[in-house]
A and B are shown apart, each in its own frame.
Chain A
Amino acid sequence: MKYMLLIYSTEPGQAPDPAVLAPMMKAYEDFTKAVHDAGVWLAGDALQGRASATSVRVDDAGARLVTDGPYAETREVLGGYYLLDVPDLDAALDWAARCPGSQNGGTIEVRPIREFAAS
């Protein structure tokens, strides 16, 4: 069963101190290696900051409305994701708890991937 781990955190106002950033990057590298070694990794990426976000909507008349900024102006923003293949929710929650994104004030939302009956 596939689960998406959506990593939400508050975006720092300025570029983080390298003394903070280096251990964080190392923690993510370790986690990524762990999900690869366990054979559960399908995909995963970090996103550019919210300043780079652009939202698009097409209205009923077919006109494209493009706006600067993320979909929702919230304090916490989606910063990255992992797509994992694990047996059940408990396993997904275990990985989420091990991911640096759920620590230090961050939150991970775990969502099962919807499977359409094509098998």
Chain B
Amino acid sequence: MDDGAAVAGVEAVFREEHGRLLATLVHGFGDLDLAEEVAADAVEAALLHWPREGVPRRPGAWLLTTARRKAVDRLRRDRAYAARLALLRADAERADPAPPPTPGDDDIPDERLRLFFACCHPALPMEARTALTLRCLGGMDTPQVARLFMVPTATMAQRIVRAKRKIREARIPFRVPAADELADRLPGVLHVLYLVFTEGYAAGTGAALQRLDLADEAIRLTRILLRLLPDEREVAGLLALMLLVDARRDARVDAEGALVLLDDQDRGRWDGDRIEEGRTLVVRALTGGPPGPYGVQAAIAALHVEAADVATTDWPQIVALYDVLDRLAPSPAVALNRAVAVAMRDGPAAGLALLDDLRDEPRLQGRHLLPAARADLLRRLGRTEEAAAEYRAALAHVDNGVEREFLARRLAALGGDGLDGTGRAERRGDRAGDQ
């Protein structure tokens, strides 16, 4: 085996094994710092040995054995540290006397659920939760996480150090919540994964519309979570939502990197495999109990991808699903999207009336979403001057370069053929309403 291939092999294995390795070590030693240190030592040893001796048959077990040996060495050298960890262990056993064994792919139990719940603990600030999850479960190093969130490495490092200090000092436990706590705690974990995904899907700032690495990583982590919690329908719902939205990624931007709206996307460029998998998961998310917010959002996404075009999209059903979502998880964003769907069902004037109700909503102030939605409906109604004013208001608040460029193009287009757009939209609205 040549060295380059061996190193690449080690990296691929490590990326896959890191979360499991770290979770097992944290469970064993009760200390994240020690677990990270010896996991890194084990990988270093692998990089030294595997290119010469070949990748072992069970790389995960090899890494774990090596890391454990390093930990024993470390604790032998540092008695005070060992004594502190022994105390931690005693308390952990008091809290969690008989941890239920989690079945793994081989004879190493999969302890990653504990790590998910610790990294996404509500006692940590949200930005630290996403960072820790990517670092501990995604196997990324701090500079990689910093690049993904486009903050300086030093800023991200400080964020992670603070979060780890709080885990240690406030003793945030590495445990899976009991069945009766799960309803309280699982949404927090799902929210973190959803934030990682949406950050990837519509990057808040910066030049590129999408940061695909983040979306991919969110999908990978959510797949792992669904394997660990196969009966939790909202996990299936979240994965379905991600897959159905992500299926459209190639069609969302044109060759020049400009934003393409749903109406104008080449549906042949949507990813059929992702859509198929997403639709299967939506069924799983909505069967066997009352729907959850992610399941409903996934169902909306499924209706979008099932239609041949915007005109034949089942807008009445989409509005009905937004009504359900508004009861389950009301938010200004849901109300805004519902208004846009109503505009598609009943015409732009009906949607505009609903948007007017959101004018004083504090959580929409200083953001481009509401003026951009209003601008589009006014444009379709032929109220060109009002539309232009709203596009300008939206431009004043948009951070993403691609979205900014899209809004500017729309504003410029208002000059000439605003009326053409109006006629088209009205016809569409009528057809959608007739179904």
| Interface residues, chain A, with chain B CB atoms under 8 Å away | 1, 86-91, 93, 110, 112, 114, 117, 119
Contact = CB atoms under 8 A, between A and B. Distances in A.
A63 to B, nearest CB: 35
B172 interface: yes
Nearest to A88: B173
Given A93-B123, A117-B80, A119-B83, A87 B170 contact: no
B427 interface: no
A88 B123 contact: no
B83 A87 contact: no
A97 to B, nearest CB: 10
A20 B91 CA distance: 39
Interface of B: 80, 83-84, 87, 91-92, 94-96, 121, 123, 169-173, 175, 177
Contacts of A88: 91-92, 95, 171-173, 175
B164 to A, nearest CB: 14
B169 A112 contact: yes
A87 B172 contact: no
11 contacts: A87-B91, A88-B92, A88-B173, A89-B121, A89-B123, A91-B95, A93-B123, A110-B170, A114-B169, A117-B80, A117-B84
B173 A89 contact: yes
Contacts of B91: 1, 87-88
Top 8 closest A-B pairs, CB basis?
A: A87-B95, A88-B173, A87-B91, A88-B171, A89-B170, A112-B170, A87-B94, A89-B172
B201 to A, nearest CB: 32
A89 to B, nearest CB: 5
A2 to B, nearest CB: 10
A110 B95 CA distance: 18
B169 A90 contact: no
Contacts of A91: 95
B173 A87 contact: yes
A114 B165 CA distance: 13
Contacts of A90: 95, 172-173, 175, 177
Given A87-B91, A88-B91, A89-B123, A112 B80 contact: no
A87 B170 CA distance: 11
Nearest to A114: B169
Contacts of B171: 1, 87-89, 112
A114 B171 CA distance: 11
A88 B80 CA distance: 21
Nearest to B123: A89
A89 B118 CA distance: 11
B91, B96, B171 pick with most chain A CB within 10 angstroms: B171
Contacts of B121: 89
Given A1-B171, A89-B123, 13 more contacts: A1-B91, A87-B94, A87-B95, A88-B91, A88-B175, A89-B121, A89-B172, A90-B95, A90-B172, A91-B95, A112-B170, A112-B171, A119-B83
A22 to B, nearest CB: 31
Contacts of B87: 119
A95 to B, nearest CB: 13
Nearest to A111: B170
B157 to A, nearest CB: 24
B182 to A, nearest CB: 13
Nearest to B87: A119
A112 B175 CA distance: 19
Nearest to A85: B91
B132 to A, nearest CB: 15
B26 to A, nearest CB: 13
A85 to B, nearest CB: 10
B138 to A, nearest CB: 24
A12 B121 CA distance: 34
A117 B82 CA distance: 13
B90 to A, nearest CB: 9
B123 to A, nearest CB: 6
A55 B83 CA distance: 40
Nearest to A93: B123
A87 B89 CA distance: 10
Nearest to B94: A87
B10 to A, nearest CB: 35
A1, A91, A114 pick with most chain B CB within 10 angstroms: A1
A88 B117 CA distance: 14
A71 B172 CA distance: 30
Contacts of B84: 117
A12 to B, nearest CB: 29
A89, A90, A91 pick with most chain B CB within 10 angstroms: A90
A91 B96 CA distance: 11
B179 to A, nearest CB: 15
Contacts of B170: 89, 110, 112
A13 to B, nearest CB: 29
A117 B87 CA distance: 12
Contacts of B83: 119
